[in-house]
Every structure is written in structure tokens, then in C-alpha cells.
Structure 1
């Protein structure tokens, strides 16, 4: 619908007044209880845990490759050792054959007992050739055994070093996760206190990611699992679910899906701590059940900019982001957010 023409100076004043009425009670920035340090710490621990997890997974895969190589070399070494044992057996059989054919008699006696000198020479030549071939094979196998022994020891050493490194990374990861869990609990406690008081603790100025998403529209979270969808039924909703839920840990940065202006920051009621952004084209997006807010009312935001941190404030059974797309800033005007994002090139799955 085409908007009505208004006086150019009257429009900003009316928008500001409506935004203030919609926002409800909000504490001023710089409040003494501002959780900025804690919020930043949670984000830092998220990033640190993620980086350590990636290093651990890379090390684990590398260790598996080295272990497989060491086991393969061990099998080749065992096979080479069996070959050497078999060749030694062949040498023993050749020696016994020489003995049975007179190999232990003096050369003159062998000439006297042989049917002919040619027969004697042929028999001895065959035995000598077999003896030489087996000796050569044994020498080659010994060299192969030495190489395999060195390679197997080297691979086993690399594997063991990786295992020790992975054990240290696993210990670091566990320590980070424990600190993160404690910080998340404190952050959510502050959020619950804000909701109970019906007043926000103030805007948390998180260190924003470097711009460069390159897309006009993005998903509201970088990593997540989908839970309750738009229009689904449930005893916690008066009729039908009005948005899309994203299951995510407390403190995960929540992104504005597109550029726009913040028209509401509220810290009370069933949605707990929430932010509403108006986008070009007249649509609004809501980010609810937050643990903190990172933008102020009336502030312009870019696609991908952090507007807050996920939590479980308000009418919530667990940590998640409740995301809505609305035709107005108010509850009850929602449209299917998944379809709306898909129309803008954002696949959420």
C-alpha cells in the first residue's frame, strides 16, 4: 500500500513518539548494573571454545590418519618379518638338500659317486643358484624390515605426540566450557532480574564483527538448531506459534537479518527481553527471549549486525531465539518467517 503524504518535519516526530510508546520501560545507557563486561566475556568464551573445538577436531582427525599409517606400517612390518622367516626356512631346506645330495662330501668323492660329471655340475649349480637367490631375497627383506621399522617408529611417535596435544586441547576445551557455563548462568540471571523489574539494564556495546557479509539478508544466527516453527500448536501459546524458534546456547550473538532501524527494545512480558527492527518495505522483525541487547532504540542497524544475545528470558522453557516477521511492530501480525527469508535468498535449515 502506498503511504500517505505527510509533512516532512512531522514524520520523524510521530515515529519517535510511536517507538517510545511501543518500547515500554527501558533503562538509560550507562546503568550501574550494565552487564557489558559479562556479555563481552560470554561472546569471547564462545569464540574461544569454538576455536579450541576446531583445533581439537583437526588434531583428532590428524591423529587418526597417523594412527592408521602406523598400524598399516606395523602390518607391513609383520608381513616382511614373516617373509624373512619363510626365506630362512628355504635356506634350511636348501642346506638339507645339499647334505642329502652329498653336499657334505669332498668334491672328489662326489665326482666318484655321481653318475656323470655333468649331472654333478648341474645339481650343484641348481643348489648354488637357489642358495644365492634366497640369500639375495633375505638381504632385500632385511633392508625393507629396517626401513619399515624406522617408518613405523616415526609414525607411532607422531601419533603419540598428536594424542598428547589433543589431550591438552580437550582439557583446555573443558575449562573454557566450564567458565562459559558459569558466565552464561550469571548473564541469564541478570536478564531474569531485568524482566522481573520490567526495565532493561542498558545497552551492551558488543565488539561487532567486521562488516562484509556481502548479502542484503542473513539468518538471525550463525549456528543453531530449528525447534518450534511458525503456526505450530503448543500449550505455551494462546493459539498458534507466531514465529520460528532457533535453539541456541545462552549468550550467542543474534544478528539483524537485514538493514533497518530499531523501533522497540523491551524487557518485560512474555517475550522477555526483545528487540524489534523495521526494514525497508514496511516489514518488522522481532528477536525475543534475549539475555541482553546490543542496540538502542532508534538506532540504525546493518544486515548481520549483532542486536543482542540469545537467552531464555520471559515465557521460555529453554535457551532459544524466538524470531518473528511482522506486518506491524505489534504481536499478532506475523507472517511465516521461513518463507519470508527464503524469498530474500536466505535458506534456513
Structure 2
């Protein structure tokens, strides 16, 4: 039997979710024409991100369930080991009992026992011992057979369960590969369209992304949900004339970008060092900028809520890789930026 101590399991429930996602029509998840979706490739990337978010959520739940299953498997292995030891002990008992009967005359015929017995009482005692020994021997044999049968059944059941889980692992890996390939292809097309718009100096216009199902209950949020902080405010480098004027968030192309707070869109532009960018005015006299985007989902003059998706990240303009450049300004124009990290922290958003 193969050991239960194998690599961690993936939750079979995630397989069902991902199979359902892959089974969606090509127009919803694939990389086709899809212009009727109200945003073409932007909408497709958004849908794939939603699918990926759901898959991630299910996968995290699956990891916890896998830990439980692994503990159960280790417990089952311990039980099987105990059954093996029990069978070995029973076999030892059988051998010991057989030897004891041989030594005490268990194999003598009744006539011989009558002749050799010292007295009727001794004969009765001898017969009683023999009966008890036979009963004990028969009971041990029965227990041994039951233990062996139980062990064989448990071993077969465990083997079947592991084979089923391994098959699900194979299918799950194939499903995940399909989603990842589609998302990567869609990202490439989205960035290609964005680069063409920036080169032409004309934005393609806003695409209406499906907004998050739950609205933020906080007045301020981070501009992207999952990220890695890269270049910070005031950093030096060859790409900036003086110092870096914002905080960069390293995220893949197409990541939904959120308005950090409620406000009004005062600028949507294409071209220049920032590529495709959005500037939002917030109450209190501050402005936030979101740059190097691949697509925008709002129009100039539009009011936005906290956490609303306003665009998708990219690598347009003066950018060496996919990321979001985020600034906080005291005017809508470049040159009035303040450090966004303590600014957000003062509003309850701590970047990590």
C-alpha cells in the first residue's frame, strides 16, 4: 500500500467550481471578438479576473480542508498500523496456544487420558482446561480472520480514495492551465490595444466593467486589492526627472483599479510619461492619480464611489513593467504630490 504521507491535496470542490468556469462559453471567458460585451477584451479580462478571484477563494478554503483530510489520513494510517500489530499479536497467540496444548496433552485420545488420569477429578479438570483452551484458540482464530478482513477492506478503501483524489488533481491542473492561458492571452491583447491608443494620443473611451458585488463599507481603500509595493515616493532612478512622485503597486496587466475614495473624475487622458491615466478630486482638496493603465472605466466629470472599479492596470507610458502608479496631490496637476503611504494611513488604509 502506498503511504498516506503524500503531497497536500487540492480540494475537490475547487475542481467543480473551475470546471464550471471553463465550461462557460468562449465569449464569456475566452479570447474572442466579444465586442457585444460592452468592452471587448477589457470585459473578457475582467471576467477572467473574477473567475480567478473565485478560484482563489475556493482554493484557500480547499487548503484548509486538505489539512483536515491529511490529518484524517494520518489517523487512518495509524489505525492500519495498529491493525497490523494486532494481527501479528493474534498470530503469536495462536502459536503459543498450540504449543501449550501440545505440552499439556491436548493431542491425546480420550481413552489414553482415562488410563493416565490419577483420579476422576484430575480427569475432569484436564478436560475443562482443554475445552477452555480450544475455545480460546477458536476465538483467537476468529479475531485474527476478522482483523485481516477489516484491514484488507480499509486498505482497499484508502487506495480507491487516493486514486480518485489524484485523478481530480490531474483534472484540476488542466483546468487551471486553461484559465491561465486564456488570461495571459487576454492581457496581451488588452495591453496591445492600450499601447496603440497611447501611440495615437487618443483614448478608446471608457469600458463599463461589472462592478464588485459588494460595495466598500469603508470611506477609503487601497487602489488595488492584491499587490506588491515597488518604487516608493521620493525614490531616485533614471526613469524620473527628479524623484518618484508616487507609490507603485506591482500588479499584472488587467488588474481592476479602484477609486481610493469617493469623488469626481476631473481628468482622463492618454499619452505622455503616464500613459493612460485618471485623476479624481476628493472632498478636502486632495486629488488622486492612477497611471500606466491599460483601460479606463469612467468618464471625465463622472462621480465615483469608494472602491469602484475605475480602470485596469497596464504598462503604458514611461513604464518598464506592469504596475499601477498612484499619486496623491494637492492640485490636479503634476508637481504637487505628497507621499501617499502616510496619507492613506491617516485615513485608515495601511499598505503592506
Q: Which residue in 2 is equivalent to 1:314?
A: 317
Q: Which residue in 2 is equivalent to 1:100?
A: 103
Q: Which residue in 2 is equivalent to 1:185?
A: 188
From 221, 237, 245, give the equivalent of 2:224: 221
Residue 168 (structure 1) aligned with residue 171 (structure 2):
yes
Shift in Å, 1:227: 1.3
**Aligned ranges 1:143-158 → 2 under 5 Å:** 143-158=146-161
- Bigger drift between 121-130 and 285-294 goes to 121-130
Shift in Å, 1:196: 1.7
Give the Cα separation in 2 of the matches to 1:197 and 1:298. 23
From 64, 70, 83, give the equivalent of 1:80: 83
Shift in Å, 1:67: 5.8
- When normalised by structure 1's length, the TM-score is 0.80
Shift in Å, 1:81: 3.5
- What runs of 5+ residues in structure 2 fail to find an aligned partner? 1-34
Shift in Å, 1:84: 2.2
Shift in Å, 1:170: 1.8
Shift in Å, 1:239: 2.5
Q: Which residue in 1 is equivalent to 2:248?
A: 245
Shift in Å, 1:57: 5.4
Shift in Å, 1:143: 3.4
Shift in Å, 1:305: 0.8
Conserved? CA contact 1:56–1:170, under 8 Å = no
**Aligned ranges 1:1-349 → 2 under 5 Å:** 36-56=39-59, 58-59=61-62, 62=65, 65-66=68-69, 69-70=72-73, 72-113=75-116, 125-126=128-129, 128-210=131-213, 212-349=215-352
Q: Which residue in 2 is equivalent to 1:22?
A: none
Conserved? CA contact 1:73–1:148, under 8 Å = no
Q: Deviations over 1:172-223 (max 9, x none)?
A: 1111111111111111111112222222111112122235311111111111
Structure number with greater Rg is 1
Give the Cα separation in 1 of the matches to 2:57 and 2:169. 11
Shift in Å, 1:165: 2.5
- When normalised by structure 2's length, the TM-score is 0.80
Q: Which residue in 1 is equivalent to 2:17?
A: none
- Bigger drift between 263-272 and 118-127 goes to 118-127
Conserved? CA contact 2:94–2:141, under 8 Å = no
- What runs of 5+ residues in structure 1 fail to find an aligned partner? 1-32
Alignment CA distance shift 1:222-1:171 (3 Å): same
Corresponding residue SS for 1:36: coil
* Higher normalized contact order (CA 8 Å, seq sep 6+, divided by chain length): 1
Corresponding residue SS for 1:204: coil
Q: What is the root-mean-square deviation in Å for CA atoms of aligned residues?
A: 2.8
Give the Cα separation in 1 of the matches to 2:275 and 2:212. 25
